[in-house]
């Protein structure tokens, strides 16, 4: 096992240390240019779509529910612990580069979600399934590579990352409130079981209220904290910007200056918002919408909310608290730093609040990750018996992850996600003409004052009309 770990670690470092960072950044830049900066041109329209997206599902999954499932997986413990780690490893400048990668990633998210909608398939129960495995097969004609993607995602998100989230919850409850990890694991499995066995519709119903409620509560707490330290807010913002360009004295304990800030900020941003990884399109495809671009816009906004709003919330909580001093080496990091910053202003009540937030964010990620796996099990043609076995195994992964860390499995999952990302980026680059035509069709309808409705056979410029297309 140690020899395998020694082999896996360098591969993971190569994929996520350099290769995928440059590929995902370049992809975001390319799609920003191809869509003529759609994430900025239509920014107000994105918000209007989200606020009007709760209806129209007609027995299926609404656009808002699909948005919340995707956001549930994006917004996890990384928004609390990961941002704190980026700060301590890369300095305040890392937050600026996190913002940059999110703004570029919004264009990537638009493209992959629109493609997921175009190539989705209808199920007998009135819902839809889709995602990279589907558009790799239906758009590129390769079921083999679609199956490879599906298997990688099922292992990575459906099992390994759910174990990671469960481990985080159990560790927080153990360290902050001396709750035995075995008890945490049992409770988590019991809470997840009815949702897993209820399928994607059950995940949608829970995610629709859990994630927005906790995200808004977390942001509200941050606003109160910023109000209490209002005089520190401009200083914190200037510190972020100046540090990003090396205009601030070097951060204690951080080597690499601008490079360290950029590397850690970009890496954390990519990990957090998942743009280009091929995960969120699996839930984007489940939405019942009149036009593929609608869900593309809404998923692009998910990247903004995850990074620009939620991750920034954590960063400012830490920076205004006074606990983090860039001139001194960090003594605490990760979720502990965020918790300590809130406890500084709100005492024991703040610590309890953060426990609830970590639990809700991590648990919502567990549900979102399961929904990703569900779509890919459908792609593989799995029957009811296979779904039953997988749900039991997924619950076991949650229970096992709560009790013990599994570094080798998690390291393999990182590599699997890296390969998965390479497959998805290749697919969306090859299929990007479809997304560009979809966007043009949507904007033509808006310019003509019509409600955008997509009909594949009537859309000029579409490369082809796939067999059995739902549009």
pLDDT at residue 35 in the model: 96
Nearest to 427, CA basis, from 134, 70, 10: 134
What does the DSSP assignment read for 442-457? HHHHHHTTPPP---GG
d(CA 133, CA 148) in angstroms, rounded, equals 8
Contacts by 377-383, CB closer than 8 A, 24 or more apart: 377/150, 377/154, 378/123, 378/129, 379/129, 379/131, 379/133, 379/134, 379/137, 379/146, 379/147, 379/150, 380/147, 380/150, 380/151
Query: How far is CA 289 from its chain centroid?
Result: 21
Residue found by looking up tokens 């985080």 in the block: 168
pLDDT string in tens for the chain (471-residue length):
677 777 787 888 888 777 888 898 899 999 999 999 999 999 999 999 988 877 665 667 888 888 888 887 777 767 777 788 788 777 888 889 889 889 999 999 999 999 999 999 998 888 899 999 999 999 999 999 999 999 999 999 888 888 888 887 888 788 777 888 889 889 888 988 988 888 777 887 888 888 788 888 888 888 888 888 888 888 889 888 888 887 665 554 555 567 777 777 877 777 778 888 899 899 999 999 999 999 999 999 999 998 899 888 888 988 888 777 776 666 666 667 787 888 877 888 887 888 888 888 888 888 888 888 989 999 999 988 999 999 999 999 988 888 887 777 777 888 888 899 999 999 999 999 999 999 999 999 999 999 999 998 888 888 887 778 888
3-state DSSP call for residue 61?
strand
3-state DSSP call for residue 25?
helix
pLDDT at residue 250 in the model: 53
Please state at what angle helix 334-379 crosses helix 181-228, rounded to 10 degrees. Answer: 120
Phi and psi of 432, rounded to 5°? Answer: -55, -30
* 3-class SS shares of the chain: helix, strand, coil, % to 5: 75, 0, 20
| The two structure tokens encoding residue 442 | 């949507």
pLDDT at residue 29 in the model: 95
If residue 224 lies in a helix (H) or strand (E), which one and from where to where?
helix 181-228
How buried is 152 (Cβ within 10 angstroms: 0-12 exposed, 13-18 middle, 19+ buried)? buried
How buried is 313 (Cβ within 10 angstroms: 0-12 exposed, 13-18 middle, 19+ buried)? buried
pLDDT at residue 335 in the model: 67
Phi and psi of 287, rounded to 5°? Answer: -70, 140
What's 325's DSSP letter?
-
d(CA 272, CA 78) in angstroms, rounded, equals 6
Q: Which domains, from first to last, does the chain contain?
A: 8-323+334-458 (1.20.1740)
d(CA 459, CA 294) in angstroms, rounded, equals 16
Residue found by looking up tokens 């599906």 in the block: 150
Q: Which residues pair with 129 in a beta bridge?
A: 121
3-state DSSP call for residue 129?
strand
Query: How far is CA 213 from its chain centroid?
Result: 17
What does the DSSP assignment read for 44-80? HHHHHHHHT-SS--TTSB-HHHHHHHHHHHHSSGGGT
pLDDT at residue 328 in the model: 67
CA distances from 237 to 124, 272, 323 (A): 52, 21, 16
pLDDT at residue 252 in the model: 47
pLDDT at residue 43 in the model: 95
- Mapping DSSP onto H, E and C, the string for 238-288 reads HHHHHHHCCCCCCCCCCCCCHHHHHHHHHHHHHHHHCCCCCCCHHHHCCEC
pLDDT at residue 453 in the model: 93
Number of C-beta neighbours around residue 34 at 10 A: 16
How buried is 50 (Cβ within 10 angstroms: 0-12 exposed, 13-18 middle, 19+ buried)? middle
d(CA 414, CA 332) in angstroms, rounded, equals 25
3-state DSSP call for residue 433?
helix
């Amino acid at each position: 096992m140690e020899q395998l770990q020694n082999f896996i670690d360098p591969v993971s470092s190569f994929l996520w240390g350099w290769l995928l960072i440059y590929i995902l950044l370049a992809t975001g830049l390319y799609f920003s240019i191809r869509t003529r900066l759609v994430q900025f041109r239509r920014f107000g329209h994105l918000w209007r779509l989200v606020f009007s997206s709760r209806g129209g599902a007609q027995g299926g999954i609404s656009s808002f529910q699909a948005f919340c499932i995707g956001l549930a997986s994006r917004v996890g413990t990384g928004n609390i612990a990961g941002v704190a780690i980026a700060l301590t490893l890369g300095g305040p400048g890392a937050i600026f580069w996190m913002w940059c990668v999110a703004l570029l990633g919004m264009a990537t998210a638009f493209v992959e979600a629109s493609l997921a909608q175009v190539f989705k398939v209808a199920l007998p129960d009135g819902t839809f399934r889709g995602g990279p495995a589907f558009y790799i097969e239906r758009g590129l004609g390769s079921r083999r590579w679609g199956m490879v993607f599906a298997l990688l995602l099922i292992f990575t998100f459906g099992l390994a990352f759910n174990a990671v989230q469960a481990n985080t919850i159990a560790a927080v409850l153990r360290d902050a409130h001396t709750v035995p990890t075995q008890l945490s694991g049992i409770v988590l499995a019991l809470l997840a079981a009815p949702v897993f066995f209820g399928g994607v519709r059950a995940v949608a119903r829970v995610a629709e209220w859990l994630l927005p409620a906790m995200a808004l509560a977390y942001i509200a707490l941050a606003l109160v904290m910023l109000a209490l330290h209002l005089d520190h807010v401009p200083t914190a913002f200037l510190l972020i910007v100046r540090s990003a360009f090396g205009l601030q004295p070097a951060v204690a304990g951080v080597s690499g200056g601008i490079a360290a800030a950029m590397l850690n900020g970009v890496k954390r941003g990519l990990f957090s918002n998942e743009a280009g990884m091929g995960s969120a399109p699996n839930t984007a495809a489940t939405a019942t919408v009149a036009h593929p671009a609608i869900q593309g816009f809404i998923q692009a906004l998910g990247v903004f909310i995850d990074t620009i709003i939620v991750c920034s919330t954590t960063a400012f909580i830490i920076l205004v608290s006074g606990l983090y001093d860039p001139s001194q080496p960090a003594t605490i990091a990760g979720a502990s730093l965020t918790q300590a910053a809130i406890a500084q202003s709100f005492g024991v009540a703040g610590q309890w609040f953060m426990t609830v937030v970590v639990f809700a964010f991590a648990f919502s990620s567990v549900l979102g990750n399961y929904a990703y796996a569900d779509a890919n099990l459908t792609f593989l043609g799995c029957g009811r018996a296979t779904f039953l076995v997988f749900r039991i195994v997924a619950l076991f992964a949650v229970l096992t992850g709560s009790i013990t860390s599994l570094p080798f499995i998690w390291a393999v999952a990182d590599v699997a996600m890296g390969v998965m990302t390479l497959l998805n980026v290749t697919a969306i680059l090859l299929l990007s003409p479809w997304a560009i035509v979809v966007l043009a069709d949507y904007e033509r309808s808006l310019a003509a004052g019509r409600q955008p409705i997509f009909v594949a056979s009537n859309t000029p410029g579409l490369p082809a009309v796939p067999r059995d297309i739902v549009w």
